Amino acid sequence: MGGLPERGKGKMKKSARWARSCVLPLPTTRWAGPSVLPLAVSLCLTILLFAIGSAGATELRVGEGTISVAEDEVISDDLLAFANRVVIDGVVEGDLITAASKVTVDGEVKGSVLALGQSVTLAGKVGSSARLAGEDVTIMGEVGRNLAAAGSEVYLDKTASVGNDAHLAGAILEVDGQIDRNADVASNKLTILGSVAGRVKAEATKLSLGPDADIGGNLTYRSPEEITVPEGARVGGKIKHLLPREKAEPEPKSPFGFWWALFRGLAVFVTGVVLLALFRGHMINAVNAVSQPAWKSLLFGFLILVVTPVATIILCITLIGIPLGILLCLGYVAALLLSGIPVSISIGRWLLRSLQRGRSVSPYLALFIGVIILGLLMHIPYAGWIVRFVVVLFGLGALSRAAKGMLMGRASA
C-alpha cells in the first residue's frame, strides 16, 4: 500500500492522538462483582476507537483466509489486519490493530497491540501497551508498558513480563508472570503464581496463591472466602479481605415496560413490512449480508457506529459542511433505528428453513418470528444489552453493505 506524504502523515497522527485521548480508561478500581462481560465489552470498544484513531497512516490488510507478516518482513508503519486468522512473525514498527478468529503475535511490535479474536496469543515483544480480548487469551511474551486483557480464559504465562500495570479479567484467570507495577484483576477462579512488584486489587469468587507467588505491596481482595497464604509465598504489604456486596433488591417491574416492549416490537414489524413491500430486493440483499460473511457485517457495523459521529462533528465544525453533517446525522439515526430489521429477518429465515428443510420462506413471516425472538433475547437479565449491541452492529453492517452494493450497481449501469 502506498505511503502518504510526510505532511499528511503528521496530520493523520495528530488525529490518531486526539481519538486515543477520547477513550476512557477501563474501570479497574470499582468493585462491581465478578462478572467479566462489562470489562470485555469496554475493552472491545476501546480497541475499536483506537483502530479508528490510528487508521490515518497505516497499512490495511483485509482477507477471508490467513493474513501473515513473515519473519523477515518489516512493516514500517501501523498495521490494521482483519481476517479469519492473523499471524505476526515479523516486525511492526508502529501499532498493530487486528480482529480475527485466531490472532498470533510471535514477532515484535514496537508500538501498541490491540487485538480482538476468539483465540489471542501474544508470544512476542510489544514495545508499548497491549490490549487484548477474546475467548482464550494467552500472554507469553514481553509487554513494555501496560497490559489489559479480558476473556473467558486468560493466562499470563511464567515467561511473560509487563513493564507497568496489568488489568486482567476472565472467568478463569491465571497470573504466572512478572508484573513490574500494580495489578487489577477480576475472575470467578483466580490463581496468582507469579510476581507483582506493587499492589494487587482482586475480585474473585475463588482466589488462591501459589507457593512462589510474590506480591510486593498490599493485597486487597473481595471474595466470599478468606485466603490462606501458603508457605513460600510472600505479600510485602497488608492483606485486606472484603466480602462481596449484597445484591440490591430488584425493583418491582412496571406493567408499562411490557406495553412499551410490545409497541416497539410492533413498530419494528410494521416498518419492516413497509420496507419489504417498497424495497424488497434491497432488503433481501441486506438480510443476506448479515451472514455472508458475518465478520464483514460486524466490521462494517463497528466502523459505522464509531466513525459516523466523528465525521458528523468534523463536518459541522467546518461550517460549510453543516448541511452534509445534518444529513449524515439523520441517516445515522435512521440506520440505528432500522438495524434490527435485517437481523430479525435473517434469524427468522434461518429458523424457518431449518424447520421446513429448505423450502421457500416468506420474508414477512421470517420478520415476524425474528422480531419475537430478538424481543425475548433483549429482555434477558444482564445479557439483554449485549444482544442489543450485537444486533446494532450486525444491522448497521448489513445495511451499509447492501447500500454499497446498490450504489455500485447503479454506477456500473
Per-residue pLDDT, 63: 78
Confidence grade of residue 386 (pLDDT, cut at 50, 70, 90) = confident
- Taking the model in full, what pTM does it have? 0.58
User: How far does CA 130 lie from the centroid of its chain?
Assistant: 14
SS (H, E, C) 9-63: HHHHHHHHHHHHHCCCCCCCCCCCCCCCHHHHHHHHHHHHHHHHHCCCCEEEEEC
- Return the minimum-mean-pLDDT range out of 248-252, 277-281, 396-400: 248-252
CA distance 25 to 122: 22
User: How far does CA 406 lie from the centroid of its chain?
Assistant: 29
For residue 96, the SS3 value is strand
For residue 216, the SS3 value is coil
Phi and psi at residue 403, in whole multiples of 5°? -65, -40
pLDDT in tens, 170-215: 999 999 999 999 999 999 999 999 999 999 999 999 999 999 999 9
Confidence grade of residue 1 (pLDDT, cut at 50, 70, 90) = very low
Q: What is the DSSP string of 184-213?
A: EEEEEEEEE-SEESS-EEEEEEEEEE-TT-
Is a pLDDT exceeding 50 seen at residue 49? no
Per-residue pLDDT, 103: 94
Overall average pLDDT of the 101-119 stretch:
92
Q: Indicate the residue type of 206.
A: K
Is a pLDDT exceeding 60 seen at residue 120? yes
Is a pLDDT exceeding 70 seen at residue 26? no
Per-residue pLDDT, 6: 40
Taking alpha carbons only, the member of 190, 184, 192, 196 closest to residue 170 is 190
Mean pLDDT of the chain: 80
CA distance 16 to 236: 40
